Structure 1
Amino acid sequence: MNSRSLQDACQDLGLNANWLNIGWEDEILSAHSLLLSASDKNAEHYRWRLFKTALGEQQHFTSDNLERYFSIALSENDLPLRSSMLHELIVLADTPREYLLKAAPLGNRSVKQKADAILAQMKQEKY
Structure 2
Amino acid sequence: MAAPDFGERLGFTPAWFDLGVVDQAFMEKARAEWDKGDDTNTEHYRWWAFQEFLAARRPLSADLAAALYELGATDADPGMGGSIMSAIVYLSECPQAVLDAAAAAGERYLLRAVERRRAEPRAAADAGA
- Range of TM-score over shorter length: 0.7 to 0.9
Provide the rounded CA distance (Å) in 2 between the counterparts of 1:107 and 1:77. 18
* Aligned-partner Cα distance in 2 for 1:59–1:16: 22
**Structure 1 stretches of 5 or more lacking a match?**
none
TM-score (ref. length: structure 1): 0.80
1:94 aligns with 2:96: no
Q: Is the 8 A contact 1:15 1:47 kept in 2?
A: yes
Q: What is the deviation of 1:113?
A: 0.7
Instruction: For 2:72, give the aligned amino acid.
Output: A
Aligned Cα root-mean-square deviation (Å):
2.5
C-alpha displacement at 1:29, in angstroms?
A: 3.3
1:2-45 superposed Cα distances (whole Å, 9 cap, x missing partner): xx833112111011111002323121332133123222111011
Shift of 1:54: 0.9
Runs of 4+ in structure 1 off by over 6 angstroms are none
The CA deviation string for residues 46-105 of structure 1, in whole angstroms up to 9 with x for no partner, is 111111111111133112322331232111121111111111101111311110121234
Task: Tell me, in whole angstroms, the C-alpha distance in 2 between the residues paired with 1:107 and 1:10.
Answer: 30
The separation in 1 between residues aligned to 2:102 and 2:34, in whole angstroms, is 29
Amino acid at match of 1:48: W
Which structure 2 segments of 5+ residues have no match? none
Q: How many residues align?
A: 124
How much identity, in percent, do the aligned residues show?
Answer: 21
Trace 1:28-107 onto structure 2 (pairs within 5 A): 28-106=27-105
- TM-score normalised according to structure 2 size: 0.79
